[in-house]
Amino acid sequence: MIHIIQSDGDVPAGLVEGELRRLGVEQRTIGLHISEALPEISAVRALVVLGGAMGANDDQRHPFLTELKRFIAQAMEREIPCLGICLGGQLLSLATGGELYAGRDGEKGTYSVMLTDQGEGDRLFHGVGQSFISFQWHDDSFSIPPAGTRLAFTGTCHNQAFRVGRRAWGVQFHPELSREIVAKWSSWSAETAARTGEFLAAFQEWEEEYLQVGRRLVENFARIAGLLPSPCRAVSKQS
């Protein structure tokens, strides 16, 4: 089972949930925004931590963030596969010794993400290609943790993805979105509401590639977590 941690009611699992269902992978969503309790760490096989409108250090307004960072740190100690998305990636960075860059390298809309040399050889990004289309919605960004490896970047945001340990990843971009979620987020402020048509038109233009990348990342993560069989490899016969 993959446990999905949701911190914001307006930031659902979207494509991640749908793709796991299609792949037949059992999942359970924990809604911290509705005061659901985190599971016992011993019961967690794999972990996806979603984004949210709050800041990763906004513990005073959202006390569950303190417990969530501690929970992520425990998952890292146990080498539980983890994928942190946007806020989730920022929390993973903080839980493993990184920093939050508040108000820095923000992006909203459709961007091209480029993989580093390390990213091109990384298991999570297997089959994605050297660059891909992503949807961004963040004002803050993360640093690469001291023991982390930088995997991706955009022209605006230097740190788009990292791996820490063997089986934990933080990404700043959103692989889980749908047109409905993009429209919802656009309504959050007058500034973004005025750009709703722009955001939706760009999403529609690149939707097919965007969805292919999101599905690939979800499938790769499920395989890394041991929840899907590894791809079969041809075995050559010897005389």
User: Could you give the residue numbers annotated as active site?
Assistant: 86, 174, 176
Residue the block writes with tokens 């995997």: 151
Q: Are 22 and 214 contacting, i.e. CB atoms less than 8 angstroms apart?
A: no
- For the beta carbon of residue 22, count every other beta carbon within 10 angstroms: 12
Report how far apart, in Å, the C-alpha atoms of 28 and of each of 5, 24, 49, 75, 133 are. 9, 13, 12, 17, 28
Q: Which residues contact 29 (CB under 8 A, 6 or more apart)?
A: 3, 4, 5, 6, 13, 17
**d(C-alpha 175, C-alpha 59), whole Å:** 25
